[in-house]
Amino acid sequence: MVDLAKDAIEPRTSVELFAGGGGLAMAVHQAGFRPLLFNEFNKRACETLVASARKTLGVDGLERTDETRPEPPPVGQPAPLYPGDVQDLDLSSLQGKVDVLAGGPPCQPFSAGGVAKGDEDKRNMFPAVFKAVREMRPKAVICENVRGLLRPSFAEYFQYIQNELRLPFEKRDDDTRWQDHNAHLTRILGGLSDEDADPDHYKVVMVPVNAANYGVPQIRNRVVIVAFRADLGVDVAAFEKDVKTERFSEAALLRSMRDEDGPYWQRHPTVPGHVRDRVRARIPKAIKEDDCRPWRTLRDAIEGYGTDTKLPALPQVDLDRLEEKFDFGQEIGVVDHIGWPGARIYKGHTPNELDRPAKTVKAGVHGVPGGESVMLLDKRVKDAASPDGWTYLHRYMTVRETARVMTFPDEWLGSGPRGEQMRQLGNAVPVVLGECFAKAVADALAAAGH
C-alpha cells in the first residue's frame, strides 16, 4: 500500500527520443507520465516543442541544454530538451529512473516514400534506441514506425531489430555483420523459456496498426513495437490482447450512415442532401455487425468530433480569399487555419473525402504531394463533361485541419512555414493512437505491481 500511495504522488516517468513535433510525447504525458528528457535534432521541430510545451506537454516550458549527460529534473521542474544528435547523449544518469522510453526512430530507411536502404542507411536510428535502453534500463519501451518494416525485403532485418530489443546488452561489435549478430541472438533466444526474468532481457510485442481503428480520423498504417523488462513480471499476453483489440471500425461507420437520419447525419445536420445521397449510394447492403464505435471522419475532425473531447468547429475557408493566405481560425482563437491556393487533383493523387477518415498525412521528401493534402468540398458546380453533370470543388487542407486529423490539440503551434509544419505533422504519431498504447503500458505495469 505504501508503494501505491507513492505512485499516486509521484507519476511515472518518461524519456522521449526523436520527439519531432511532439505527438508521441503528448500521448505519453496524457497517459500520466512525467517527462525527464526530450531529444530532437531538427531545429524547427525543437522550436515547436518549446512553443507548445506548456499546453501540450504538461511542462512549464522546456529548458534547452547542451549537456550530453543530462540529469533528471526534480518534480515540478521543466524537462530538458537536448537539441542535437541522440548518438551524442550519455543517458546513464537516468538509469533506474525511467518507466517508459518512447520514440519513433527516423523511418526513411524503411519508408515506401524513401529510398528504402534499410539497415545500410545512416539514418537508421534503431541502434541509438538500443544504446539508450542499455544506459537507462527503462521498464518499458514504445517505438512507432512505418509499415514498410513489414515488407518482405525487410523481414529478416526487422526480426533482427526485435531480437536486439529483446537482448539489448548483447552489443554488436562494429566489425560484425548484422546477419552474424542476428544468428548469435537467435541462438540465445532459442535457449530461453517463457518464464525468463533476466533484468538484461526484454519481452517484445509487435503490433501492426491502422490508426483509424483506434479512433484517429485518418487511415494510417504503422507498426508499434512495445517492450517490457523481463524481470517485471508483466503479463505480456494480456497486454498484446488489449492493444490488438480494435475500438473503432469502418463497418460501424457505415451502419451509422446507412439510414437517411442515421447517427452520423444527425451529428452533421448541415450536410447537403446530394452529398448524403452520394455517400449512401456507395454503402453495401450487407454490413458486418461488431461492437466497435464508428471510424471518425475528416468531417468529424473539422467539426470538432475527431477525439472524445469536443472542440469548436473550424470556421469555413472562403475559397475567394485563398490568395490572401488569411487565417480563418481567428474567430475561435486558433492559428494556422490558413487557406492556400493552387490545389490540384491528378492521377494517382485522389483527394480526401469529408465523410471518410482522411488519407495518411505524409511528410514527403519534396513536401506533401498532390491530392494527399487536398479535400473535396460539399460545394459543386455544373460540369457538362462530368458523367453526372456536376464537379465538386476542392482545396488544400489547412495546417490546423491536418493537425486535427493527427489528433493534436488546437494549442499545438507548429514552427516554420506551412511545408515545414506539414512535414512535422506527417512524421508524427497521432496523439490518440500513442495515448492508447501508453495507457495500456501504464495499466500493464500497474497490474504487475509497478
In a domain, 402, yes or no: yes
Q: Are residues 165 and 302 in the same domain?
A: no
**Cell numbers at 265, concatenated:** 447525419
**Angle at CA 266, nearest 5°, toward 265 and 270?**
70
Lowest mean pLDDT among 204-218, 235-249, 341-355: 341-355
Strands 390-396 vs 374-382: parallel, antiparallel or unpaired = antiparallel
Cβ atoms of residues 53 and 29 within 8 Å: no
> Are 320 and 395 members of one domain?
yes
Assess whether 405 and 316 both reside in one domain: yes
Residue 203 reports pLDDT greater than 80: yes
pLDDT of residue 121: 55
Poorest-pLDDT segment among 72-76, 212-216, 270-274, 290-294: 72-76
Do residue 58 and residue 87 come from a single domain? yes
Is 373 within a domain? yes
Question: Which CATH number covers residue 319?
Answer: 3.90.120
**287 in a domain, yes or no?**
no
pLDDT over 90 at 174, yes or no: no
Q: Which residue in the block uniquely carries the three cell numbers 514498410?
A: 148
Q: In degrees to the nearest 10, what's the CA dihedral of 264, 267, 269, 271?
A: -50
In this structure, the answer to whether residues 47 and 22 fall within a common structural domain is: yes
* Judgement on whether residues 169 and 192 belong to the same structural domain of the protein: yes
| 107 is known as an active-site residue | yes
Percent of the chain residues past pLDDT 70, beyond the cut: 92
pLDDT for 3 beyond 70: no
Residue 391 and residue 442 in one domain: no
pLDDT at residue 116 is higher than 80 = no
Q: Is the dihedral of CA 393, 395, 398, 403 positive or negative?
A: positive
Residue 289, in any domain of the structure = no
Domain with 243 in it? 2-247+429-447
Domain check: are 440 and 408 in the same one? no
Residues 6+ apart with CB under 8 A from 264: 253, 256, 257, 294, 297, 355
Confidence at 7, pLDDT banded by 50, 70, 90 = very low
Question: Do 303 and 232 belong together in one domain?
Answer: no
Over residues 292-302, the mean pLDDT reads 98
pLDDT over 90 at 199, yes or no: yes
Do the domain assignments include residue 399? Answer: yes
330 and 183 both lie in a single domain:
no
Q: Is there a single domain that holds both residue 440 and residue 365?
A: no
Q: Does residue 171 lie in a domain region? A: yes
Count of domains observed in the chain: 2
Q: Mean of the pLDDT values across residues 356-385?
A: 81
Q: Could you tell me if residue 275 is inside a domain? A: no
* The three cell numbers locating residue 266: 444527425
Residue 271 is assigned to a structural domain of this protein: no
Mean pLDDT value of segment 164-188 = 94
3-state SS record for the chain = CHHHHHHHHCCEEEEEECCCCCHHHHHHHHCCEEEEEEECCCHHHHHHHHHHHHHHHCCCCCEECCCCCCCCCCCCCCCEEECCCHHHCCCHHHCCCCCEEEECCCCCCCCCCCCCCHHHCCCCCHHHHHHHHHHHCCCEEEEEEEHHHHCHHHHHHHHHHHHHHHCCCCCCCCCCCHHHHHHHHHHHHHCCCCCCCCCCCEEEEEEEEEHHHHCCCECCEEEEEEEEEHHHCCCHHHHHHHHCCCCEEHHHHHHHHHCCCCHHHHHCCCCCHHHHHHHHHCCCCCCCCCCCEECCCHHHHHHCCCCCCCCCCCCCCCHHHHHHCCEHHHHHCCCCCECCCCCCCECCECCECCCCCECCCCCCECECCHHHHEEEEEEEEECCCCCCCEEEEEEECCHHHHHHHCCCCCCCCCCCCHHHHHHHHHHCCCHHHHHHHHHHHHHHHHHCCC
Are residues 416 and 355 part of one domain?
Answer: yes
What is the pLDDT, as a whole number, of residue 109? 56
| 438, 31 Cβ separation under 8 angstroms | yes
For residue 126, the domain's CATH number is: 3.40.50.150
Q: For the segment 50-102, what is each residue's pLDDT rounded down to a tens digit?
A: 999 888 887 877 889 999 999 999 988 889 999 999 999 999 999 999 999 99
